[in-house]
A and B are shown apart, each in its own frame.
Chain A
């Protein structure tokens, strides 16, 4: 099964808050990431959080981590049309002496003007 799970679609009105959710399964210490991908573009690192933190805020972005439930969320305040994109949650997993990213399937955020 998937190590990282996300809902596939989210639609919000411009100016509202968006909340994108993610669950992960690795119980060891890890870094968790949010990447944004606009159509035809690469992945833009938005923010990340270490698994011993509960919350991280960066301007309009707030990341909440519930380690007990292995639940991660990304809140975008005052969502704008430019926020329309696919958002990937990812966690760092260790293996063979290196650390690799495991991605969720991505949540497509549509912002309605």
Chain B
């Protein structure tokens, strides 16, 4: 089973709302990732958690707040977003987050629209 699940599939929110994106994997992977993908662009890395610790934050604005409650779950809390934050948010996981052979598996994404 190489499945990463994400909820919700679609999310529409206003600029004053607070919402959360959820990601789950049951492959025993210890690294999880958030990416942002704009239309017709490749994914851009936002955050990396390795062994439940935040190891990479790619200078993402504080209105995005990641959380890793346990090794299977990854959340992205959203607050006071801007319309330009509208994008497809992809979650991925990999066995360790370390090592050349650490292959990432992606979820289906959450399509976020900020009004």
Residues of chain A touching chain B, judged by Cβ–Cβ distance below 8 Å, are 29-31, 33, 35, 40-45, 48, 50, 88, 92, 94, 96-101, 103-106
Contacts and interface: CB of A to CB of B under 8 A. Distances in A.
Given A98-B50, A99-B98, A31 B107 contact: no
Nearest to B48: A98
A64 B40 CA distance: 26
**Nearest 6 CB-CB pairs, A to B?**
A103-B42, A43-B106, A42-B108, A42-B106, A42-B109, A42-B107
B56 A98 contact: yes
A55 to B, nearest CB: 18
A98 B53 CA distance: 13
A99 B108 contact: no
A113 B29 CA distance: 40
Secondary structure at chain B's binding surface: helix, strand, loop or mixed?
loop
Contacts of B108: 41-42
Nearest to B107: A42
A106 B102 contact: no
A106 B39 CA distance: 11
Contacts of A48: 103
Contacts of A45: 2, 103-106
Given A99-B99, A99-B102, A105 B109 contact: no
Given A33-B103, A94-B100, 7 more contacts: A29-B100, A35-B106, A42-B106, A88-B42, A100-B45, A101-B45, A101-B104
Contacts of A30: 100
A35 B103 CA distance: 11
